[in-house]
Amino acid sequence: MFAPRSDTRPLLRDLARERLRVEIMRGSLCPGDRLDDEDLAVRLGCSRTPVREALADLAHLGLVELRANRYTRVAVPAREDVVPALQALGLLFGGVVRIAVPRLGDRSRAVLFRRLGVLLDCLETPSWRSSADAATPIYRTFIQECRNPMLTATLHGSLDGLTFRLRHEELDAVLPWPDIRNSVVALRVAVDCRDGRLAERATWAAHLLPDPDAADR
Contacts of 12 (CB under 8 A, 6+ apart): 46, 47, 50
pLDDT digits (tens, 9 = 90+) for 87-146: 999 999 999 999 999 999 999 999 999 999 999 999 988 777 788 888 989 999 999 999
pLDDT in tens, 61-90: 999 999 988 999 999 999 999 999 999 999
Mean pLDDT over residues 17-29, rounded? Answer: 94
Q: Which residues of 2-26 are buried (b: 16+ CB within 10 A; e: fewer)?
A: eeeeeeeeeebbbebbebbbeebbe
Picking from 4-18, 33-47, 170-184, which range would have the lowest pLDDT averaged per residue?
A: 4-18
User: Average pLDDT of the chain?
Assistant: 90
Calculate mean pLDDT across residues 171-193: 94
Give 36's strand partners.
none
CA atoms within 13 A on the CB side of 121: 8
Hey, which of 126-130, 182-186, 209-213 has the most confident mean pLDDT?
182-186
